[in-house]
Structure 1
Amino acid sequence: MRTPTCILPGLAILVLAACRVPAPEPLTAAEQMEWQGLQGCADCEAIDTVLVLSRDGGQQRFEMVETYLLQGGGEPFADAGAWQYEDSLIRLQGDEGSMRTYALLGDGRLQSRQANGSRERRAHELQPVSGVPQ
């Protein structure tokens, strides 16, 4: 018996959709998650970034420390505020007005994004350290 050729493309689409790994929902396994990573820097050796997301009751807060690594030491800068998660994007709104956007990838990594969610030309990634479902 021959299989109609119009069914084969449909089956291929179903198989590909089933293989797609959905991004994990933040904070389903933990009330606090942490990521860390290095990014390039024009005026220093690198920027070491640590991001912690937490949920306490109804409040979702973040703390981010970026340490600009210089020869002989580092210069840390801290930011904190509220975060929200929607459509695989984590948006950070700093208490002092800063705005950052990260995409939560299927393996738990965060990738920096533009405010509209599109990929940055020189995106940096943060690796999960603790509490991140993978």
Structure 2
Amino acid sequence: MTAKTEMEFAVEVEVLGRVRHKNLLGLRGFYAGGDERLIVYDFMPNQSLLTHLHGHLSSNCLLDWPKRINIAIGAAEGLAYLHHEANPHIIHRDIKASNVLLDLEFQAKVADFGFAKLRPEGVYLLSSHEKELAYIT
């Protein structure tokens, strides 16, 4: 296991252990032993937004415009929680259609926090370039 993989696992477990929101994927448990790293999440029966828009389910897409808008709002609410209400604030850094999962009712759940950054209190984002973040205090 690479140091990068180990770090992504640790970040994901730490972030998911800190947050609870209806639009964030829930952590059920994790295991770290030897070279094995496992994370157990809530089951998302409708897979990802990417699957419905561009994947094997796209030909019979069930996402009409009201559902798409609801998914966008849900994902935005999850991100707003991370940015403004989580303590410390969290920057996701990898939001994309494959990281927006859909539950049974097609409610958005933001997932994959392996690249997330915790933002210390009193520190604000100055600029962002290809996942390299600059901060000011």
TM-score by length of 1: 0.24
Q: Which has the higher helix share?
A: 2
> Which has the larger strand fraction?
1
Q: Higher Cα Rg: structure 1 or 2?
A: 1
Question: When the two structures are superposed, what TM-score results if normalisation uses the length of structure 2?
Answer: 0.24
